[in-house]
Amino acid sequence: MMDLEGAEGRDQVTDAGSAQVEALWLQVLGERPAPAIPDGFAARVTAAALRQPLPRPSVWQGFGVRIALVSGVALTVGMFAFAPHAAPSFRSLNFDVQLLLLGELGAVAYVVARLGLPE
């Protein structure tokens, strides 16, 4: 069987110990450590940065412009395919499609002009 009187005594000791621990925590948390930067730190960082290899250019650089150029070619071919069948009337579906392709070709040309050609 357990001794209940001993259990109560342990609780009192634990409460006193927790008060000391709490006081210690408050003291430690109240102190602000002074930051210290070792001597030569900047020189070591600079030397390590210079030893790093140069980054390689990305394979995907200029990929959007390449797609825009391919799209421009495809739109031009589509315009030539609809040209013989397109009567200059807004009731003609072929003429409407050709105007749409011309507008898209203009948008692609604008994108290529803004982004520049890939090197």
pLDDT of residue 72: 80
Task: Report pLDDT digits (tens) over 34-64.
Answer: 888 889 999 999 999 888 888 877 666 667 7
pLDDT of residue 97: 82
Q: Map out the domains of the chain as residue ranges.
A: 63-115
pLDDT of residue 71: 82
pLDDT of residue 1: 45
pLDDT of residue 41: 92
76: number of Cβ within 10 Å: 14
Distances (CA, A) of 110 to 62, 96, 113, 117: 15, 21, 5, 12
Q: How far apart are CA 102 and CA 75, in angstroms?
A: 8
Distances (CA, A) of 67 to 2, 35, 48, 101: 82, 52, 39, 16
Assigned token pair, 50 = 């210079």
Residues of the chain with pLDDT under 70: 1-16, 58-62, 86, 116-119
H-state helical runs in 31-92: 41-51, 63-82
